[in-house]
């Protein structure tokens, strides 16, 4: 089993029961209650179905219950394996083509109609939803929070890294997995707040009711007065030849497998996109002992925080700018990926193609708000507000204040709040926390003295100040440039005890400690968030801010700051290097040649495939994954029928598959552009409930779970 047994941050899950189940007639095992998909991937099984149209293999893509690519025949019923909990003796089978209809000839009987009432329905139990619930609960509102995951916290439960912001406002310096627990406790301290997990909202109706697919098996109607949409965001897709192969997955899906389910899903990955999601995914991969071939970004600069990018470079992972993926290839799953340099129009440049042997490609090219419920509610005249990523894509720290502000505003709209109850600083704080990175500044060189002092390797203005608030001597302050936590920290005192609190709390691992111990020697203290029993050698490569190796020296001591779950490693180095040393190269990347700049040198690399073959506008590439409709088919249809309304594409089955257009709706704009249609003239898909698949038997709570028999789903693709 490909399981992560020793993680530097996460503890092995306790009290898990290993159970046997059947996969295509073979008995294998997994942990009871974990998603079926995770159990299968831990056993190296990545193909979950073969499409009815062309027999193409399909596997996990979003791991979020959104795309339906992971649908399998589970106890005779087609179900999403990423949200179906594993049970002992379960019969799981690959779907070949279209599954047979279950042989059920008894009349449909409505067993039960289930309904409840609440004042406020909150969709989503992420940071925004939980913060809104706590605020509304404190006002005495009856609040029901519905979330589609088995655990509250949203994407926080996937985040093992420490968060930015401020300690006072949003628990900066605390890991996302711990912030999730804090926010849930804050919400549940109010008796009027209830949180339903495994409870996706599937529809909003005119009569102020919402449908919830409770535990993915029964239907619950919730009558409410007002609505908070805090459903977060879904990851954007990227269209290229081979993007539909098993092994090409969303970065969030990778984090779900690695950090939530502790499954070592892949051995070597390639990441597309240099925003914070992609940069953090690379870090999580190394923590899970998974090799990273590199991060590839089509733009000319990194899109995420500089401290994240610097951290990745220091660990030895290259970041290639002005470069993108052109193709993924493999038999049944990804085995190789091709990249190429791009011109100013983001088109591949002839002669620049390069290939990598990888078993996964992570797509991290941005997020799109999950705001369909908000639009639906407002269309029906229902009182509704949005919070978090459903309102604005930003950091989780900002979402907390977005939730608080949305809740207070909703109370005012209901006439049950007091204007004075809205803290005027909330919106200001939210905007600061949501700020894009500001200017970068060159730090002045530091000469180590006999006393300890911190060295800062954060050069870019971002909302972060925990180093200043954690210092027991208050020797760290922020330079007064903007007058808020966007300002850069500096050593303002004359004393430093070398306690290491600032080093351990820094979310970007961008602070070190130095002191001179001899005329030509100094000691440097560096943060380390990897296993120390297997992740360290006798001599380690020490690197500067951008990842260039300065020295290779032994560790002289190590200690763990338990509160931050961070190791502090001490080295003795050349005094001339001490203040420049910013980190330790990871063992998996030591001895690996690195580029001197963020580009690939293509001069001596022969073109492996032609640019014509690897064009991102390959017309024979599938756009609609559910129905396997190609770009060529869509473009031809648009031209032939003078289409300007995306809904007309539904006659081709585009947007009519199991995902309801959630994936392809982001991609069809390219087809319209190729067909010569102005994007501003395109009418988007009309969204209607239900927003995910719900079996007819579940709608009437008939209790149908196991239908179909052993021969269901055996018909092959035509």
Q: Sorting pLDDT into bands at 50, 70 and 90, what band is 693?
A: confident
In the block, which residue shows the tokens 């994007």?
679
Q: What is the pLDDT of residue 689?
A: 85
Tokens representing 384 are 């509704």
Q: Sorting pLDDT into bands at 50, 70 and 90, what band is 143?
A: very high
Kindly report, residue by residue over 363-396, the tens digit of the pLDDT: 999 999 999 999 999 999 999 999 999 999 999 9
pLDDT at 293 over 90: yes
Q: Sorting pLDDT into bands at 50, 70 and 90, what band is 110?
A: low
Cis peptide before 690 (omega within 30 of 0): yes
pLDDT at 610 over 50: no
Q: Sorting pLDDT into bands at 50, 70 and 90, what band is 536?
A: confident
Tokens representing 165 are 């912001």
Contact residues for 49 (Cβ-Cβ < 8 A; gap 6+): 57, 58, 71, 72, 94, 95, 96
Fold for domain 237-365? FAD/NAD(P)-binding domain (3.50.50)
pLDDT at 464 over 60: yes
**Higher-scoring residue by pLDDT: 598, 483:** 483
- 8 A C-beta contact, residue 296 and residue 324: yes
Q: What is the pLDDT of residue 34?
A: 96
Q: What is the pLDDT of residue 613?
A: 40
Coil/strand/helix, residue 20: strand
- Going by C-alpha positions, the residue among 290, 348, 430 that lies closest to residue 608 is 348
- 8 A C-beta contact, residue 100 and residue 714: yes
Q: What is the pLDDT of residue 217?
A: 87
pLDDT at 152 over 50: yes
Pairing of strands 218-229, 384-386: parallel
What is the share, in percent, of the chain residues with pLDDT greater than 90? 81
Q: What is the pLDDT of residue 13?
A: 80
What is the average pLDDT score of the chain? 91
Length of the chain, in residues: 718
Q: Facing residues of 235 across strands? A: 367
Q: What is the pLDDT of residue 605?
A: 31
Given CA atoms 44, 50, 51, 56 in this order, what sign does their dihedral have? positive
Coil/strand/helix, residue 396: helix
- 8 A C-beta contact, residue 372 and residue 380: no
- 8 A C-beta contact, residue 584 and residue 550: no
What is the share, in percent, of the chain residues with pLDDT greater than 70? 91
Kindly report, residue by residue over 296-326, the tens digit of the pLDDT: 999 999 999 999 999 999 999 999 999 999 9
Q: What is the pLDDT of residue 617?
A: 58
Report the alpha-carbon angle 225-229-234, nearest 5.
155
Tell me whether domains 18-101 and 114-233+369-433 share a fold. no
CA 48 and chain centroid, separation: 22
| Max CA distance (Å), the chain | 90
Q: What is the pLDDT of residue 588?
A: 62
- Going by C-alpha positions, the residue among 396, 476, 531, 639 that lies closest to residue 12 is 531
Coil/strand/helix, residue 342: strand
d(CA 565, CA 568): 10
- 8 A C-beta contact, residue 6 and residue 534: yes
In the block, which residue shows the tokens 């985040």?
159
Q: What is the pLDDT of residue 718?
A: 25
Kindly report, residue by residue over 427-461, the tens digit of the pLDDT: 899 999 999 999 999 999 899 999 999 999 999 99
Instruction: Sort 8 into a burial class: Cβ within 10 Å, 0-12 / 13-18 / 19+.
Output: buried
Q: Facing residues of 270 across strands? A: 294, 361
Kindly report, residue by residue over 34-61, the tens digit of the pLDDT: 999 999 999 999 999 999 999 999 999 9
Angle between helices 306-315 and 276-287 (to 10 degrees): 30
- 8 A C-beta contact, residue 654 and residue 628: no
Eight-state DSSP code of residue 117: E
pLDDT at 606 over 50: no
- 8 A C-beta contact, residue 388 and residue 127: yes
Instruction: Sort 300 into a burial class: Cβ within 10 Å, 0-12 / 13-18 / 19+.
Output: exposed
**Higher-scoring residue by pLDDT: 400, 105:** 400
Q: What mean pLDDT do residues 203-217 have?
A: 94
The H or E element containing residue 296 is: strand 291-296
CATH H-level, domain 114-233+369-433: superfamily? FAD/NAD(P)-binding domain (3.50.50.60)
Q: What does the domain layout of the chain look like in residue ranges?
A: 18-101, 114-233+369-433, 237-365, 453-584, 619-699
pLDDT at 78 over 50: yes
- pTM (predicted TM-score): 0.92
Kindly report, residue by residue over 503-526, the tens digit of the pLDDT: 999 999 999 999 999 999 999 999
In the block, which residue shows the tokens 């619930």?
133
- 8 A C-beta contact, residue 422 and residue 408: yes
Reported CATH class of domain 18-101: alpha beta
Q: Sorting pLDDT into bands at 50, 70 and 90, what band is 421?
A: low
Tally Cβ neighbours within 10 Å of residue 426: 17
């Amino acid at each position: 089993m490909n399981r992560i047994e020793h993680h530097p941050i996460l503890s092995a899950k306790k009290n898990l029961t290993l159970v046997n189940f059947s996969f295509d007639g073979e008995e294998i095992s997994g942990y009871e209650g974990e998603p079926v998909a995770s159990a299968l991937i831990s056993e190296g099984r990545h193909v979950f179905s073969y499409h009815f149209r062309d027999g193409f293999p399909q596997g996990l893509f979003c791991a979020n219950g959104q795309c339906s690519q992971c649908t399998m025949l589970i106890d005779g019923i087609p179900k999403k394996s990423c949200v179906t909990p594993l049970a002992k003796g379960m019969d799981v089978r690959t779907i070949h083509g279209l599954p047979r209809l279950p042989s059920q000839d008894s009349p449909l009987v409505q067993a039960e109609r289930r309904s409840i009432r609440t004042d406020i329905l909150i969709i989503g139990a992420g940071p925004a939803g939980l913060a809104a619930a706590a605020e509304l609960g404190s006002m005495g509102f009856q609040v029901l929070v519905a979330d589609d995951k088995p655990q509250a916290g949203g994407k926080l439960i996937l985040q093992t890294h420490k968060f930015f912001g401020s300690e006072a406002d949003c628990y900066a310096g605390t890991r996302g997995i711990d912030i999730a627990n804090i926010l849930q406790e804050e919400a549940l301290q109010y008796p009027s707040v209830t949180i339903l997990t495994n409870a996706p909202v599937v529809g909003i109706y005119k009569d102020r009711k919402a449908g919830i697919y409770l535990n993915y098996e029964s239907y619950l109607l919730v009558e409410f007065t007002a609505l908070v949409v805090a459903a977060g965001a879904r990851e954007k897709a990227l269209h290229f030849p081979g993007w539909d192969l098993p092994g090409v997955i969303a970065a969030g899906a990778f984090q779900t497998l690695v950090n939530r389910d502790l499954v070592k899903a892949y051995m070597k990955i390639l990441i597309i996109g240099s925003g914070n999601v992609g940069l953090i995914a690379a870090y999580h991969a190394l923590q899970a002992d998974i090799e990273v071939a590199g991060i590839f970004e089509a733009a000319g600069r990194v899109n995420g925080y500089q401290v994240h990018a610097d951290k990745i470079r220091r660990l030895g992972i290259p970041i290639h700018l002005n470069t993108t993926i052109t193709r993924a290839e493999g038999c049944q799953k990804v085995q190789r990926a091709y990249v190429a340099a791009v011109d100013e129009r983001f088109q591949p440049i002839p002669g620049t193609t390069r290939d990598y042997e990888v078993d996964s490609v992570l797509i991290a090219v941005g997020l799109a708000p999950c705001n369909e419920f908000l639009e639906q509610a407002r269309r029906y005249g229902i009182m509704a507000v949005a919070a978090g990523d459903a309102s604005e894509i930003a950091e989780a720290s900002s979402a907390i204040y977005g939730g608080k502000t949305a809740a207070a505003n909703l109370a005012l709209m209901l006439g049950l709040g007091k204007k004075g109850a809205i803290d005027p600083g909330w919106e200001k704080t939210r905007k600061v926390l949501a700020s894009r990175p500001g200017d970068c500044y060159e730090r002045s060189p530091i000469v180590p003295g006999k006393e300890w002092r911190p060295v800062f390797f954060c050069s870019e203005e971002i909302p972060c100040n925990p180093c200043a608030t954690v210092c027991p001597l208050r020797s760290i302050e922020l330079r007064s440039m903007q007058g808020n936590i966007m300002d850069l920290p500096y050593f303002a005192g004359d004393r430093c005890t070398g306690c290491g609190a600032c080093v351990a709390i820094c979310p970007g691992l961008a602070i070190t400690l130095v002191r001179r111990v001899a005329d030509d020697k100094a000691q440097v203290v560096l943060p380390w968030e990897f296993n120390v029993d297997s992740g360290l050698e006798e001599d380690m490569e020490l690197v500067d801010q951008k990842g260039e190796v300065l020295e290779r020296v032994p560790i002289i001591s190590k200690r763990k700051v338990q509160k931050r779950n961070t190791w502090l490693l001490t080295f003795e180095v050349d005094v001339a290097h001490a203040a420049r040393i910013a980190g330790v190269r990871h063992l998996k990347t030591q001895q690996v040649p690195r580029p001197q700049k963020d580009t690939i040198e293509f001069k001596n690399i022969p073109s492996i495939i032609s640019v014509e073959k690897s064009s991102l506008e390959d017309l024979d590439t599938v756009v609609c994954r559910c129905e396997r409709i190609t770009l060529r088919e869509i473009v031809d249809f648009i031209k032939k029928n003078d289409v300007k309304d995306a809904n007309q594409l539904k006659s081709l089955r585009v947007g009519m598959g199991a995902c309801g257009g959630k994936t392809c709706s982001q991609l069809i704009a390219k087809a319209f552009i190729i067909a010569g249609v102005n994007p501003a003239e395109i009418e988007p898909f009309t969204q209607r409930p239900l927003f995910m698949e719900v079996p007819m038997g579940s709608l009437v709570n008939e209790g149908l779970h196991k239908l179909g028999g052993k021969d269901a789903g055996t018909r092959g693709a035509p």
